[in-house]
Structure 1
């Protein structure tokens, strides 16, 4: 029985991914090139800081959710969590995104009829889960302007990715890692990082089941510095006060702190009819008692994270790791001998657009939600309230 899909990541990608987790012969051979990459990235960032590059300030606070580790670390669930937290704090948030695979470079709104091929899979998912205005475009600044013009009630913008998109000024930066930490700690192509671990940011979040002191120390920003100065909370304006340190914030991680995020998925929904639901524990028990063959597909940056969650729920899986943003046009399940196929919600938004897959009764979607200490949201809100508008 196959354990991987024909569309699994290439051998080159797999080799590099493994090499990036340690400082072995291949990584060491590429290290001199990584110094050049790191230097160019640093010069580019410095040019924008010194005002040598065109960088636009929007009239509302901008919060960037991004990563320096290449590939997926869980930005979309974090973005959804942050939008919901900002709304609960009294803001009216909107989201801008590049929209991976989007057909247009000009700003384009994400509506109920938008498809992943038109605007990208993650923006479709964010719009569906949050109900807030979402705009995609190659230029985040242009997308932000278009979003504010179309939705003047929006008073804060969250950008899904775009950490290195310095043409848009930001008030708060949230950098997300996962259990892989910083890998071997080197920048591309010798390592998995777009920028060095010491990159300045306001908050560091780690998407991992266990946040060990070693992992927290590896991802902590040694040069963390706030982008704007928060003002003290005034109880009369309803702004939540910043909380004291707590277990989810790694001790000794510096002023920026390191916050733990976990992804929780307790139920599954049949793709053919999303109202038909079952808990993962129920499905796993049913599969064992009936001898069902169960597969799991994940076209995300780190499929192992999804597979691990399902195994923890009791599933014995055929694993199908797919390339990030996989479009499913190659029909990867056609020859798969499985009675039940579990997939991520990000993959489901694309499969739902393909009739053959939409009507496949074997396909079940596993929505996940980010779980983070609420004090992080309070501190982000406090910073946003203290950032002046343009």
Structure 2
């Protein structure tokens, strides 16, 4: 069993955390705590952009639904009269210098999540220097910057923090990396302005549900209901932070998935699909964007959208407008 899998089982299941991991967790706690302290007391300076910045992130490693939420937030803000853009580190891509994405981004260069967001017609900029990348969005006319997965990136000053919680996995064993899944201590949750619970209910958090229901061809973009695969065995492919969520969602439609889980942000190549059995292939939207150039006619993507109560968007808009009135 791979080390990462063994650790994840220890974080969220009955597995035992190896003793040698605890010193690393203590070191991680010390370094991350010192970093937060330096920013909190102004000894390291955050960069303020002059427009409202909304950070969407989590305090656990792995997928919690941040990217679908970032897309939903951008679309809702656009409907409410804003011109939002998304800034991202560009994990999984080769791009290092700040770059404003064009209409047909290369996920190998800029990362899978930024590419997916850009396909929704949302301005996106990537780069290691996130403040510099965000300025490209402002120069392009954006009046709100959404930072996808930026909760721990304190160099970028923020006006609103949105923390996403996984309703199914929660916070695991409650320990810091790598002894547990936490990027920051649980007390950090209380300092976020808005909390969102993906897939369930939690006191003090807005509920979010990821809705799908259709499968779209990778080769011609024709779509059909997911129920067309009910009762069928399919190859299910997921290179996301929590692949089981995707596999379980297919089972909810009566589909029989043959599970193929890959590491998050995996760079797919054609040989990854040599499964030895000729079945339809269903994959997440995030994975599909990396597979279009060698896709086969029986490969399908399963898009999802984040649904949240209108009260969430009202609260977010109120905080953005208050920040804007105060000068960003």
- Does residue 137 (structure 1) correspond to residue 127 (structure 2)? The answer is yes
SS of structure 1 residue aligned to 2:12: coil
Match in the other structure for 1:389: 327
Cα drift, residue 89 of structure 1: 1.6
Asked if the contact 1:20–1:27 (Cα under 8 Å) also holds between the matched residues in 2, the reply is no
SS at match of 2:136: helix
Write the mapping of 1:1-390 to structure 2, written as runs, cut at 5 A.
Answer: 11-21=2-12, 25-26=16-17, 30-129=21-120, 131-149=121-139, 151=140, 153-178=141-166, 179-199=168-188, 200-208=191-199, 210-211=200-201, 216=202, 250=203, 257-274=204-221, 276-284=222-230, 288=231, 292-329=232-269, 331-353=271-293, 355=294, 358=295, 360-387=296-323, 388-390=326-328
Contact persistence 2:9–2:15 (CA under 8 A): no
Query: Cα offset for 1:48?
Result: 0.6
- Work out the number of aligned pairs and report it: 323
In 1: Cα distance, 2:246 partner to 2:194 partner = 25
Q: How many angstroms does 1:98 deviate by?
A: 0.6
User: What's the CA shift for 1:29?
Assistant: 5.8
Q: How has the CA–CA distance of structure 1 residues 321 and 364 changed in structure 2, closer, same or farther, with 3 Å as cutoff? A: same
Give structure 1 stretches of 5+ with no counterpart: 1-9, 217-249, 251-256
Deviation at 1:334, TM superposition (A): 2.2
Kindly report structure 1 stretches of 4+ aligned residues shifted beyond 6 Å.
Answer: none
Distance 2:18 2:78 in 1: 44
Please say which structure displays the higher CA radius of gyration.
Answer: 1
Supply the distance in 1 between the matched residues of 2:94 and 2:23 (Cα, whole angstroms): 37
Residue 307 of structure 1, CA deviation: 0.6
Task: Tell me: CA distance 1:23–1:166, structure 2 relative to 1, closer, same or farther (3 Å).
Answer: farther
14 and 59 in structure 1: CA distance in 2 versus 1, 3 angstrom threshold: same
- 1:328 and 1:283 map into 2 onto residues whose CA distance is 24
Let me know the Cα RMSD of the aligned residues.
Answer: 1.7
**Is the 2:92–2:266 Cα contact (8 Å) retained in structure 1?**
no
2-side partners of 1:126 and 1:333: how far apart? 25
Residues 58 and 163, structure 2, Cα contact 8 Å, conserved in 1:
yes
The CA distance in 1 between the partners of 2:102 and 2:118, in whole Å, is 8
Q: Report the TM-score when normalising by structure 2.
A: 0.94
- Cα offset for 1:283? 2.6
Rounded Cα–Cα distance in structure 2 between residues aligned with 1:312 and 1:328: 26
Local SS of the residue matching 1:63:
strand
Does structure 2 conserve the Cα–Cα contact (< 8 Å) formed by 1:140 and 1:162? Answer: no
Q: TM-score, normalised by structure 1?
A: 0.79
1:293, 1:338 within 8 Å by CA — same for their partners in 2? Answer: no
Query: Which digits, 9 at most, give the CA deviation of each residue in 1:271-322, with x for residues without a partner?
Result: 1110x211011232xxx3xxx5311101111000011111001101101111
Report SS of the residue matched to 2:267: coil
C-alpha distance in 1, partners of 2:316/2:153? Answer: 20
